[in-house]
């Protein structure tokens, strides 16, 4: 396997070129995951840059992103591969309509071929010869059985299709699994991964992220936004605003032409950062904002 990155510093510089600003814990873990050929499990609250990290690694290395979005009910045929039954059926009908009798044996070898295979993200990522980032997003949303499948695939990077044989990765994809920790992932799966916990960044870093993501925003306003978001995170609320909300807020204020984040401006745009009525009520009270 050829490594994508030369050093943790190289990871940092190349991610930064894509607009993703990573601290040392991130760059080191990404570097090691690449160097050791291990999947990277990224855990943390919503909107802190888990999914974006995988996208940034792909962009930074010119790799293609193959994404498996996990959800309740995701099963093997959707994650790995399935046979195109409709097409197979048509082939059988065509065969019997045309030449009349066709031997079952020859038909069977005929309809379980590449032509009738529907490749899903896991198989697609394993078969690609070009650099690939496999993003297994929101792993904790999938049922526990999917973890068994992931374990199998991520242990050997191979898949056995009974009718076609075993497919082994010619080039291991860089694998990123993300989780909100809605439920604990199995120890067996964790053991195979390098683990990275992402949290809200330091104010200084978050300001840089806002400046990088929201062109045209004034540095002083960015600082005020980040400070205010920091204060909101300190309140006892249901859903603390994430980096995503900080960026949205900056976009909103820019669009409204607001240059000063005074109490009126905060009150007017609070819905961009706080998405629960009870959180908004609390913020209005604690920050002494004008009643809306």
Ligand X SMILES: Nc1ncnc2c1ncn2[C@@H]1O[C@H](COP(=O)(O)OP(=O)(O)OP(=O)(O)O)[C@@H](O)[C@H]1O
Binding string, residues 213-242; x marks residues near ligand X by CB under 6 A: x-----------------------------
Contact between 146 and ligand X by CB under 6 A: the answer reads: no
Contact between 78 and ligand X by CB under 6 A: the answer reads: no
Q: How far is the CB of 256 from Mg ion (least distance, A)?
A: 27
Q: What is the DSSP string of 39-81?
A: -EEEE-STTSSHHHHHHHHHHHHTPEEEEEE--TT--HHHHTE
For ligand X, give the closer residue by CB, 251 or 268. 251
**Listed ranges 33-41, 48-56, 61-69, 145-153: which one lies at the site for ligand X (CB under 6 A):** 48-56
Residue 197 near residue 44 (C-beta atoms within 8 A):
yes
Q: How far is the CB of 274 from ligand X (least distance, A)?
A: 16
Binding string, residues 208-227; x marks residues near Mg ion by CB under 5 A: --------------------
For Mg ion, give the closer residue by CB, 149 or 244. 244
Residue 80 near residue 123 (C-beta atoms within 8 A):
yes
| Three-class DSSP category at 15 | helix
Rule CB under 5 A: which of 46-85 touch Mg ion?
51
For ligand X, give the closer residue by CB, 14 or 172. 14
Binding string, residues 85-124; x marks residues near ligand X by CB under 6 A: ----------------------------------------
| Three-class DSSP category at 177 | strand
Q: How far is the CB of 195 from ligand X (least distance, A)?
A: 15
Task: In whole angstroms, give the CA distance from residue 21 to residue 52.
Answer: 11
- Lookup: tokens for 216: 């045209």
Q: Within a 13 Å sphere around the CA of 117, how many CA atoms are in the beta-carbon half?
A: 17
Helix (H) or strand (E) holding 94: helix 85-98
């Amino acid at each position: 396997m050829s490594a994508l990155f030369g050093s943790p510093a190289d990871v940092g510089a190349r991610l930064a070129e894509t607009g993703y600003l990573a601290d040392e814990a991130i760059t080191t873990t990404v570097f090691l995951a690449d160097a050791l050929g291990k999947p990277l499990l990224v855990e943390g609250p919503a909107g802190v840059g888990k999914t974006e990290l995988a996208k940034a690694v792909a962009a930074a290395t010119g790799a293609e992103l193959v994404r498996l979005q996990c959800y309740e009910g995701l099963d093997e045929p959707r994650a790995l591969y399935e046979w195109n039954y409709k097409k197979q059926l048509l082939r059988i009908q065509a065969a019997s309509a045309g030449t009349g009798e066709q031997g079952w044996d020859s038909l069977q070898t005929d309809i379980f071929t590449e032509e009738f295979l529907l490749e899903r993200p896991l198989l697609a990522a394993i078969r690609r010869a070009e650099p690939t980032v496999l993003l297994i997003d929101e792993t904790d949303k999938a049922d526990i059985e999917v973890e068994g499948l992931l374990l199998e695939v991520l242990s050997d990077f191979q898949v056995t299709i009974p009718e076609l044989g075993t497919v082994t990765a010619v080039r291991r994809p860089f694998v990123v699994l993300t989780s909100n920790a809605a439920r604990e992932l199995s120890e067996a799966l964790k053991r195979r991964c390098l683990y990275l916990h992402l949290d809200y960044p330091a104010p200084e870093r978050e300001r840089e992220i806002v400046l990088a993501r929201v062109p045209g925003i004034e540095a002083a306003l960015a600082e005020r936004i980040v400070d205010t978001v920091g204060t909101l995170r300190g309140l006892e609320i249901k859903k603390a605003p994430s980096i995503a909300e900080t960026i949205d807020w900056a976009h909103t204020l820019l669009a409204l032409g607001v240059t000063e984040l005074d109490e009126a401006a905060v009150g007017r745009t609070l819905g961009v950062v706080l998405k629960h009525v009870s959180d908004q009520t609390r913020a209005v009270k604690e920050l002494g904002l004008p009643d809306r």
